[in-house]
């Protein structure tokens, strides 16, 4: 399909749902994509199955502090030099670009990069959702290296970084972004078409589009937008409630907190808590205990409009419906859970798939 | 000491006015229909209250006006300036040009003149790029025909020198007459939203100056030689000169005036205010006597902005709301609006309105007829209104603790006295003119919203610096030096950034300088 200025809003809405409360403000990415498409024309979203085995795909992303990214937006051509540097280093021309996370800001930034470079965008990503750190991608488990990584700023500075692990890539990129004024563009996880098919999460961009489209059309036809999202994602409605308390603090760069909900409608009489660190990570029901946890997706939707609500916007009195969606099976391996399971974020719970948690429990 | 003053609130339906004395006693009040030219409505309200109070024109010390003029100009795209929108920040920020997401007709109405030029700073005050003065001058000459300029520089809430310099260059190139709006005086961090607010402000300066001149002339016509002030949306006042320079701050001043007035009339300093008008009910929060600010970007005319706005939820229920009994009993959001006196049944019309129900129930006595309505329908409609209001009151609260609720506005009778979640419900005297009271008792304020690096100064110094600047701003707006107090200090550490960056917001307010 083509990504145009007419359907970019749907991608952004769906990306916010897959952003599970975090992932940065997709508004900036959406506007970047809109301008780039106006200037360079629509972007081809291509099926990962159609990418030649040995073709070079370079995912792109914006990295930095949210406060900076909303004040100092990119020049728009940073990726040009970053990609050129990588192409020279790897001795191969890029065939396409890709999103590294299907949720939040970085789902739509690569659309702008694709338009500016005249490249197609592969319908896949490295998370199927949003996570805060560079190494938190299924590609890490597949042995794909985040480096050589190119890091570029708007002034024309660029670095080519080689590291021994993807965790080091995260560390160096973060430090460099500060030197570059708190925000930069990166080209990372250069991979072949074969590796995309084997290690990435496929069809996630079109899923984002379909989710956004479903919410928009459901609202238009007065249907239940939440049901439409659940149909598309094999998800579950976890709770319907009113937010009664939100606690927040900043820890190690993360916006950490906990929201408490009182049940409404069918959930009346129960309470519910939501733990978040940028993204929503653990959901608990007063009667049933943990009902979903990372890496499964937990998203808060406005009870009336179905619009996704980010963790920054959670506030007392908001009527919401919380949904849970199964993550990619790739995340459910020991290695995957080591990267992004509850333990990595310091929750002392064992991960159980949302489908299991949704089964009635027997003694 | 008399210190008589008049507060006037020009709403969409009614123009309300009150006369108060120096001890804030209300001497007279009136509600008159808003007129198309606004001024004649103001003058007739003025005549009524002066007559009723026995206060003469030359005894008036202050006249305060609350108006929705600026908001209407934006929504109707009427009388807007052609604006030269200059952003300083290249090579950064070029991936999203100014006005990109504006509705086409609004962007066209201000002329679509945009430029992104070299300069700006980083989050910690480092230079992003040098300002190229020749490039700036050339751009100003290209925009020579615009009516106003809007200047925004990257991270100007941290360092404003590039914005200041560009304003000087505009003066040098095109003279002193063209209004210039600079973004650090208007919005906070978040470039696009701040730039939008600055461009809207620049677009409004002519409309504001016309409205201000009409106001001044109207006072002259009545021989009133009083100090004139406009109500702004934080519930404080600004001088006429200030209102012409910062018209954007009058947007949503109406609900803010109601919040202030309701707090004053009920003596509730912290709680929820419900203002029931003709077509809508505004629900807002009062914190230490002032309207609570919204923490999220607020759209004006479909444009996202980030300047301070009151946290208000409007629901489509008011005295003119149409009552439907088709599918259960519902009230609004359709309304007969200003045609209440033609279309409502109690005035001999054909439409069943919320007002008719109360007339039928005998709680109010207006109009020429008493409509025949089942008591059950009245009860069901009241229940409907109660549920809607309760829900919004709850959303306005910041915790589950019960809080005082104050109900004001012409349609107050529609809202029952027992509201879930309320510790007490007030319907104070003079509730129907709370907005005019709010503007009459208002103070003047000054504020500052800046990012400080605590590597360069300690926390105490930074807060003191912000307090001094807010106080200076309050004095500049006309506050009496002896009465200025710091009314709010907010400190937000910025995540992911080194240098101990912290955002500090301070508001100072004081009585009018006599």
Inform me whether the pLDDT recorded for A201 exceeds 60.
yes
Mean pLDDT of chain A: 94
Alpha helices in B222-274, H assignment, sequence order: 240-245, 253-266
- CA of B398, closest CA in chain A: separation in Å? 5
Cα separation of B64 and B437, whole Å? 10
Predicted confidence at residue B49, as pLDDT, reads 95
Cα separation of B125 and B456, whole Å? 11
- CA of B447, closest CA in chain A: separation in Å? 21
Token pair, residue A264, equals 């409404």
Predicted confidence at residue A65, as pLDDT, reads 85
**For residues B347-374, average pLDDT:** 90
Inform me whether the pLDDT recorded for B288 exceeds 90.
no
For residue B226, what is the DSSP state? -
Evaluated on CA atoms B45, B49, B52, B57, the torsion sign reads: negative
Token pair, residue A306, equals 């179905």
Residue B316 half-sphere exposure, CB side, CA atoms within 13 Å?
A: 11
**For residues B374-399, average pLDDT:** 91
Phi-psi region of B439 (alpha: psi -120 to 50; beta: other; left: phi over 0): alpha
Among the partner-chain residues A75, A76, A245, the one whose CB lies closest to the CB of B399 is A245
Cα separation of B9 and A217, whole Å? 41
CB-based contact A28 B96, cutoff 8 Å = yes
**For residues A323-334, average pLDDT:** 97
Quick check: A17 and A276 in contact, CB under 8 A? no
Predicted confidence at residue B38, as pLDDT, reads 80
Q: Mind listing the pLDDT tens digit for each residue in B182-235?
A: 999 998 889 999 999 999 999 999 999 988 998 898 899 889 999 899 999 888
Predicted confidence at residue B188, as pLDDT, reads 85
Cα separation of A138 and A143, whole Å? 9
**For residues B405-415, average pLDDT:** 91
Instruction: Scan for tokens 């020429």, then name that residue.
Output: B368
Q: Say what the ipTM of the complex is.
A: 0.93
Predicted confidence at residue A362, as pLDDT, reads 55
Inform me whether the pLDDT recorded for A219 exceeds 90.
no
Predicted confidence at residue A214, as pLDDT, reads 96
Predicted confidence at residue B98, as pLDDT, reads 98
CB-based contact A181 B128, cutoff 8 Å = yes
Residue of B nearest to A318 (CA): B395
Which of B212, B258, B211, B215 has the alpha carbon at shortest distance from B235? B258
- CA of A113, closest CA in chain B: separation in Å? 10
**For residues A208-230, average pLDDT:** 93
Angle ∠(B63,B66,B69) on CA atoms, nearest 5: 125
Q: Residue A229 — pLDDT band, cuts 50, 70, 90?
A: very high
Inform me whether the pLDDT recorded for A253 exceeds 90.
no
Q: Which of A30, A67, A132 to mutate to test the interface with B (most CBs of B within 10 A)?
A: A67
Q: Residue B2 — pLDDT band, cuts 50, 70, 90?
A: low
Inform me whether the pLDDT recorded for B494 exceeds 80.
no
Inform me whether the pLDDT recorded for B495 exceeds 70.
no
Helix axis angle, A105-117 to A26-40, nearest 10°: 20
Inform me whether the pLDDT recorded for A115 exceeds 60.
yes
Q: Residue B496 — pLDDT band, cuts 50, 70, 90?
A: low
**For residues B230-259, average pLDDT:** 90
CB-based contact B123 A65, cutoff 8 Å = yes
Mean pLDDT of chain B: 90
Q: Mind listing the pLDDT tens digit for each residue in A11-61?
A: 999 999 999 999 887 899 999 999 999 999 999 999 999 999 999 999 999
Predicted confidence at residue B252, as pLDDT, reads 87
Predicted confidence at residue B22, as pLDDT, reads 84
């Amino acid at each position: 399909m083509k990504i145009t200025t007419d359907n970019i809003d749907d991608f952004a809405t769906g990306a916010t749902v897959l952003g599970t409360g975090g992932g940065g403000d997709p508004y900036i990415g959406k506007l970047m994509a809109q301008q780039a498409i106006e200037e360079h024309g629509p972007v081809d979203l291509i099926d990962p199955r159609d990418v030649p085995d040995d073709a070079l795909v370079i995912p792109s992303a914006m990295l930095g502090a949210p406060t900076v990214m909303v004040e100092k937006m990119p020049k728009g051509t940073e990726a040009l030099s970053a990609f050129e540097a990588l192409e020279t280093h790897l001795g191969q021309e890029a065939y396409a670009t890709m999103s590294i996370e299907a949720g939040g800001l970085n789902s739509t930034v690569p659309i702008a990069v694709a338009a500016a470079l005249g490249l197609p965008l592969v319908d896949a990503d490295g998370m199927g959702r949003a996570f805060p750190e560079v190494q938190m991608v299924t590609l890490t488990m597949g042995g794909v290296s985040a480096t050589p990584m190119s890091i570029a700023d708007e002034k024309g500075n660029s670095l080519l970084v080689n590291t021994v692990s993807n965790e080091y890539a995260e560390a160096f990129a973060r430090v460099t972004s500060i030197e570059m004024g708190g925000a930069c563009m990166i080209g990372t996880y250069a991979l072949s078409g074969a590796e995309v098919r084997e290690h990435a999460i496929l069809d996630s961009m079109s899923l984002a589009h379909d989710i956004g489209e479903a919410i928009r059309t459901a609202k238009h036809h007065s249907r239940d937008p939440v049901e439409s999202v659940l149909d598309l994602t094999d998800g579950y409605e976890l709770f319907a409630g009113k937010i009664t308390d939100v606690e927040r603090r900043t820890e190690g760069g993360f916006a950490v907190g906990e929201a408490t909900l009182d049940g409404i409608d069918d959930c009346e009489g129960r309470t519910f808590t939501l733990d978040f660190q940028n993204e929503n990570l653990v959901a608990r029901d007063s009667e049933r205990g943990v009902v979903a946890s990372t890496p499964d997706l937990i998203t808060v939707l406005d009870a009336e409009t179905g619009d996704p609500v980010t963790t920054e916007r959670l506030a007392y009195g908001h009527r919401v419906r919380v949904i849970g969606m199964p993550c990619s099976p790739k995340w459910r391996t020991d290695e995957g859970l080591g990267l992004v399971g509850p333990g990595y974020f310091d929750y002392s719970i064992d991960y159980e798939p949302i489908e299991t948690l949704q089964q009635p429990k027997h003694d | 000491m008399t210190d008589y003053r008049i507060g006037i609130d020009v709403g969409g339906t009614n123009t309300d006015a009150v006369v108060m004395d120096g001890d804030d006693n209300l001497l007279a009040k009136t509600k008159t229909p808003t007129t198309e030219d606004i001024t004649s409505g103001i003058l007739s309200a003025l005549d009524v209250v002066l007559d009723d109070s026995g206060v003469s024109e030359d005894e008036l010390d202050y006249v305060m006006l609350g108006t929705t003029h600026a908001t209407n100009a934006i929504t109707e795209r009427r009388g807007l300036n052609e604006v030269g929108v200059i952003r300083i920040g290249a090579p950064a920020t070029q991936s999203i040009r100014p006005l990109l997401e504006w509705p086409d007709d609004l962007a066209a109405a201000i002329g679509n003149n945009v430029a992104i030029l070299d300069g700006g700073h980083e989050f910690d005050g480092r230079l992003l790029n040098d300002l190229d003065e020749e490039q700036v001058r050339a751009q100003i000459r290209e925009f020579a025909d615009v009516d106003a300029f809007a200047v925004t520089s990257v991270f100007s809430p941290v360092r404003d020198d590039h914005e200041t310099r560009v304003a000087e260059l505009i003066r040098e190139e095109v003279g002193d007459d063209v209004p210039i709006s600079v973004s650090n005086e208007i919005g906070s961090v978040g470039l696009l939203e701040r730039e939008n607010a600055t461009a809207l402000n620049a677009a409004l300066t002519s409309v504001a100056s016309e409205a201000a001149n009409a106001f001044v002339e109207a006072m002259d016509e009545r021989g009133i030689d009083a100090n004139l002030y406009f109500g702004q949306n934080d519930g404080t006042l600004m001088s006429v000169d200030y209102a012409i320079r910062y018209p954007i701050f009058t947007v949503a001043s109406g609900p803010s005036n109601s919040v202030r007035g309701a707090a004053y009339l009920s003596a509730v300093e912290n709680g929820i205010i419900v203002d029931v008008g003709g077509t809508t009910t505004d629900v807002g929060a009062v914190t230490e006597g002032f309207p609570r600010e919204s923490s999220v970007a607020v759209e004006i005319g479909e444009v996202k902005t980030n300047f301070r706005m009151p946290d208000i939820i409007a629901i489509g229920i008011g005295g003119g709301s149409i009552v439907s009994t088709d599918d259960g009993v519902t009230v609004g959001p359709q309304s007969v609006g200003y045609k209440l006196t033609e279309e409502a049944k109690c005035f001999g019309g054909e439409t069943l309105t919320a007002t008719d129900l109360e007339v039928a129930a005998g709680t109010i006595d207006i109009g020429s007829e008493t409509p025949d309505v089942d008591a059950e329908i009245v009860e069901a409609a009241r229940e409907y209104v109660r549920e809607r209001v309760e829900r919004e009151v709850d959303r306005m609260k910041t915790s589950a603790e019960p809080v005082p609720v104050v109900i004001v506005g012409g349609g107050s009778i529609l809202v029952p006295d027992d509201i879930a979640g309320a510790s007490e419900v007030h319907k104070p005297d003079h509730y129907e003119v709370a907005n005019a009271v709010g503007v009459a008792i208002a103070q003047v304020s000054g504020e500052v919203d800046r990012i400080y690096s605590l590597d360069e100064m300690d926390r105490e110094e930074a807060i003191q610096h912000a307090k001094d600047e807010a106080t200076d701003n309050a004095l500049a707006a006309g506050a009496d030096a002896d009465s200025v107090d710091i009314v709010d200090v907010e400190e937000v550490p910025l995540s992911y950034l080194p240098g101990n960056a912290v955002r500090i917001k301070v508001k100072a307010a004081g009585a009018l300088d006599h």
